[in-house]
Amino acid sequence: MTKTTGSSENIVEVAVKPLSERDRSKRYRLFCIVGLLVVLVSVIIILCFTVKRNTDLDASQDNDGDDEVYISEKSTADPPLPVGIITPPGPLIVAANDSRQYRFIRLNNSLVVTMISDRDSITGATCYNVMAGTLAEPDGYEGLAHYLEHMLFMGSEKYPKENTADNTASKYDGWVNAYTDDENTNYCFSVANEGLYLMADIFTQFFVEPRLSVTALEREMLAVDSEYMMWYNSNFWPSYQLAASLTNPDSPSHRFSTGSIETLNKTDIRDKLWDFYDRYYSANLITVVIIGNETLDTLQDWAETIFTAIPNKDRRKPVFNTLPFPPGDKRYINRLVYFKPKNDKHAIKIMFPLNIEGYPDVGYTTTLLGYEGKGSLYQKLSKEGYITSLVAGVYITTSNFNIIIIDCSLTITGLKDPKYIVTKLFQYIKSFDANGINKDLWEEKKKIDELKFRFKEKEDPAAYASAISATMAYRTDPRDYLEPPSRRKYNETLEKEIMKYMKPRNFNYYIGSSELSDEKATEYGPRLEKVEKWYQTAYTNTEIPEADIKEWENVALDPELHLPQPNLYIPQDFKIVPPPSTISNYSQNITPSDSNFKVWWYQDTVFQQPKTSIECQFYPKNPDYSPETMVKSELLYQTFGMSISEVLYPATLTDYSLDFGMKTYWALTISGFSDSKKVERILQEGIKSLLNLSFEKDETYFYNTIITPTKIMYKNIDNWQTTSIASNYLQLLQDDRNVLDASLADIADTMTQEKIETYRDNFLEDLAAVCSVSGNVDKEQAIKYVKVVEDAVTKGKTPSKDNRIGDKYNAIRKFPEGKTLIVRRAVVNAEQPNSAAIMSYQIGSEESNGAGLEGRPRYTRDVLLSLLVLALREPCFNYLRTQKQLGYVVHCYEKKLYGISTFDVMVQGSRLDAGPNVMAKEINTFIKSQYDKMSNDTDGSISKVFDSIKTALKKTLEEKPRSLSAKNYQLTSEIFSRKPNFRRREEMISALQSITITDFRQFYERYLLGDKRRQCSMEVYSKALSPPEKEKYDDTDIVVPNDVELATYRENNLTDEFSESD
């Protein structure tokens, strides 16, 4: 592979090697007949979505002459495209440190494959993208595409067992997943490279001969319904579905996309699944990306052997004619919608539909709309007290229409006067048009994006493969598969066309607030007279008055709203610092004698990226863990965030990030390019903003913009997913510090600016600090950065050199020994349809081996816990979700709470006949049954599985960080821990090698089953279920009374605490 350096990105000649002279006669014998037939009839669809919509997909067999028709699946107009390696017409552009090799091929069945050889990765992945999604579903079968996605995992003729894909992936320390969107369905897996070939064959059979098992129909229908119910009480999906339901009913965008029992439980549903599968699951409508550490020749061998089995039915992508927002149709455009969201919040969503075909790049427009620096819409409205946040972007993107959205969180002032916000928006948009499209800003954005691309870090293989496979669906040139910004061309005609849609006669706005009522009009809006079908969202839908539209069409420019100035934070220095005289793979303590801040430094010599990361943690002398201090720190954080945006928002556009996390301790983090002038400026501006915060704002303004949003955040704790509520309860039961609770909203109501200012000043009075500087930075510069922080923060005071890191580690209470502690709570939110159970098993300190493992290598118990997770992950999912269908969310995992390890099994579902008590019983059954299986190893099969799990964990521990940020995370995790150990992974590998299956069985029995276990069943019951008062699962169980506060129970009953030796 040859490289030539460009101005902003590496231009890499794609590794298209001529076919080697290896013997391919066997392959040709297998596929010559298929290849001949395919060449005669096949055609691959033009990979550019310049198509129009249609709602009646069943019209494909019977065109009655209407305008909205589905174009026949059979492809007869286009000539077949050549089979073989696809040579891009120019160089392939990749990131500067991308050493991977790429090759593209069109197989005999017209399937296009991207092969990526990554010789440094131990993980491989393959993703398949089918060019059909929810918009292609037949009327009356909403969610069919999503349902089919689920059903394909239920086995194939070649691999008939339902759980084959999950089970095999688990053996290779991997996972499987899929998603369905408007126009695509994407299937992915990630495994250790040793399992890549087998997994690719298993997945490929989804598209060759799936079973669509009759026995799985009902179970997976329940899974789809459970997924729908999981999001029932969220904010995004109900508002998304509301907007969809108010579009043109003749458009497929109008439909309910997730699916439910109601839409899928039909006698002919299996026939409809087969029809949909036959219509769209064709090789010429599928793109594949395979990534592995094999050579390109080997990956090509695999592709030709495995993927060619997918039949080419010579189909076309679905074509639609009907738009969701027909231009000028007042039934669907120029609408004002008021609605009541599921959570406590106030928001305005302003949407502009763009009826432009071919996935136009709207980045220039959305960047301007979402800008937060000086002269922006955000600064104007936030300073005037109307909004607290603003996000602009693409809401929906399809082949022939897009939606640009501006989404703002409102204050009460903004909620009362949303028209003012819309007026300011159109004044801001008018400033875009005042001098025409600003090419300089367009080019500046492109330059910034080129820098990000040029120096981006290596992605997770599966995420990378998924993104590329989806892009391949609408790009014909392989040079565009990786989406390098340098391929973008300034198109003034397109930018002007986009702006034509950003007008008062082409938008809707949606106002959501918990203050709105379905019973009566309020001062915040009209009575909500209608209810959306799927999420029961109350709303009202009216036409925007013509007078308002005319007023917005004729707004005058506001001199305070203007285009951004040139960005001063674009880095200029990309030089790689010369390596130090002594190269270390770990951070080194380089604290100068004249510094009171402890300084750790790591200079990268591996990734050669011009990036730097700085983190400083500040610890007060007497940490205060009270709820009042938690609230003060949150309010200070919000105040700081609003003040810093005007100054440093331009820096965030250039890939810098700055955060000042504020809890019991504070954490200043900055990461981005290593241009020292930019880094020092960001550090100085960030700290100066914190120290110079104004606490003399108008009290009403402060209450509306800072206090109220924080109160809403706390109140919404009661609206969390039930798994999150259960997890929060678990922490409350074990830890008396830093636990979130809705009652914190009442404390926030008592806060003043003076109290927050006093809290800040007292915190800074007596500090100890530890800093980490890593990346493309030498020792002297690292010390200089920390000196900038120290001088700014201490302001002449002498900080302490005490080691206060341990202060942030709280004492964790022990569950009773040899018993199950059962806690049952009902949800507060009356609309929550989901229940959850978390079975938590306390293991002990991650630094200790505990009783029974004395004298064994350090971290032996922690490694046994990791093996437990790997061993149970797939069977847990299979038993609790696939077989028992207890809920959509099923997960087993290890968790660290202030250095204390737990093993948790989590289930969330909405079935009324399978509440948390049923979930808990089934978890207990599963845990016991797995132990029984493990103990019955007469044929040695269990030992073989155990050895494979050990091998998978060893490879995971041996895997080197794939990016500089991953390396930095690995280092800082140790630096800011109570007992730093940079050789932790090496010691864990040493411990792993000595572990036997007998050790594993003994660990399992002691901590999950035996009389030494410490177990808690945390159960949260939905609105439709009542928590049992006294039900036990065993005579020794302890049931916490439902009316006893958990904090009270903890203090009175859980008095024993874990030590580092436990």
Which contiguous run of DSSP H or E holds residue 967? helix 964-975
Question: Given pLDDT bands bounded at 50, 70 and 90, which one contains residue 274?
Answer: very high
pLDDT of 76 > 70? The answer is no
58-75: pLDDT as tens digits = 333 333 333 322 333 333
Collapsing DSSP to helix, strand or coil, 637 comes out as helix
Distance separating alpha carbons of residues 379 and 733, to the nearest angstrom:
42
Residue 866 — pLDDT band, cuts 50, 70, 90? very high
Give mean pLDDT, residues 884-895: 95
Each residue of 290-309: pLDDT tens digit? Answer: 999 999 999 999 999 999 99
- pLDDT given at position 890: 96
Give the whole-angstrom CA distance, residue 349 versus residue 553.
19
- Please, which pLDDT band fits residue 435 given cuts at 50, 70 and 90? confident
Dump pLDDT digits (tens) for 318-332.
888 899 999 999 999
Residue 23 reports pLDDT greater than 80: no
Q: Can you read off the two tokens belonging to residue 301? A: 């061998």
pLDDT for 938 equals 83
SS3 content of the chain, % helix, strand, coil (to 5): 40, 20, 40
Query: pLDDT at position 146, please?
Result: 98
Contact present, 248 and 329 (Cβ < 8 Å): yes
Band of pLDDT at residue 78, cut at 50, 70 and 90? low
Residue 172, SS3 per DSSP: coil
Residues 6 or more apart whose Cβ sits within 8 Å of residue 837: 726, 906, 907, 916, 917, 919, 920, 923, 1017, 1018, 1019, 1020
Largest CA distance in the chain: 86
Look up tokens 């792993």; give the residue. Answer: 992
**Phi and psi based region of residue 212 (left: phi greater than 0; alpha: psi -120 to 50; beta: remaining):** left
Q: Can you name the residues that pair with 611 across neighbouring β-strands? A: 673
Give yes or no for a contact between 895 and 902, defined as CB atoms under 8 angstroms apart: yes
Q: What is the pLDDT of residue 807?
A: 73
Query: How far is 104 from 16, CA to CA, in rounded Å?
Result: 8
Range 610-634 average pLDDT: 93
Out of 103-107, 492-496, 740-744, least confident range: 740-744
Higher pLDDT, 413 or 29: 413
548-557, 617-626, 651-660, 706-715, range with the lowest pLDDT: 617-626
Return the sign of the alpha-carbon dihedral for residues 199, 204, 208, 210: positive
Choose the weakest-confidence range: 621-625, 650-654, 833-837.
621-625
pTM score, two decimals? 0.89
At residue 79, the pLDDT reads 61
Which of 936 and 574 is assigned the larger pLDDT?
A: 574
| Token reading at 204 | 């490929």
CA geometry: angle 92, 98, 101, nearest 5 deg: 60
